[in-house]
Chain A
Amino acid sequence: SQQGEEDPQALSIQEGENATMNCSYKTSINNLQWYRQNSGRGLVHLILIRSNEREKHSGRLRVTLDTSKKSSSLLITASRAADTASYFCATVPNKAAGNKLTFGGGTRVLVKP
């Protein structure tokens, strides 16, 4: 079973537009992480947000976390063609539940030049 579920499954935007994707999860977490995957490659870590944080920024990335709704969002501002990739959220459960890092199904983002 997947802990995180991303929405939408696919997103197509023009270069310069913002891209927003959401992640919902089921159980209590220690932290939530976002990753990027280019086709046929390994995943690259983008940003980690802890359960006691509500918002975090890294360059053109903005992540929010709402633990009451068990959801997170990733915003990519001023998108570029090079942002074309799949984006995944992953959760680390709280201490009592162990350190199982579980991924969602991903959002495929296409940025058209």
Chain B
Amino acid sequence: DGGITQSPKYLFRKEGQNVTLSCEQNLNHDAMYWYRQDPGQGLRLIYYSQIVNDFQKGDIAEGYSVSREKKESFPLTVTSAQKNPTAFYLCASSGPGQGRGEAFFGQGTRLTVV
């Protein structure tokens, strides 16, 4: 069935390590998004992509990187430059027309620095 899948559900990172969060969708959506959510807070936009091979920085892109080589996939790498990466990460996709409609969310990845 169609949807958006994030993996893993829980991820532990050691200090100084890069980690990559996976996001895959089979909804044929053009637009994909990555958000960070801290406890009791709203969603802050990290990166978004409106089309394959193109992406834009959101409000808190520092310390993160993304790629969009395939329409279905939008992985997020949390680099060692991100000093406070412990958070809940949510991926979303939307369509048609480069994302003006409702967004569909994955179930999130909870990242903890150990």
What is the interface of chain A, defined by CB distance below 8 A to chain B?
1-2, 6, 30-31, 33, 35, 40-45, 48, 88, 90, 92, 98-106, 108
Contact = CB atoms under 8 A, between A and B. Distances in A.
A106 B42 contact: yes
Main secondary structure of the interface of B (DSSP, over half): strand
Contacts of A45: 102-104
A49 to B, nearest CB: 11
Contacts of B43: 43, 88, 103
A99 B108 contact: no
Contacts, number: 68
By size class, the interface of chain B is 20 to 34
A105 B106 contact: no
Given A2-B42, A42-B107, A88-B42, A98 B100 contact: no
Nearest to A31: B100
A101 B90 contact: no
Contacts of B50: 98-99
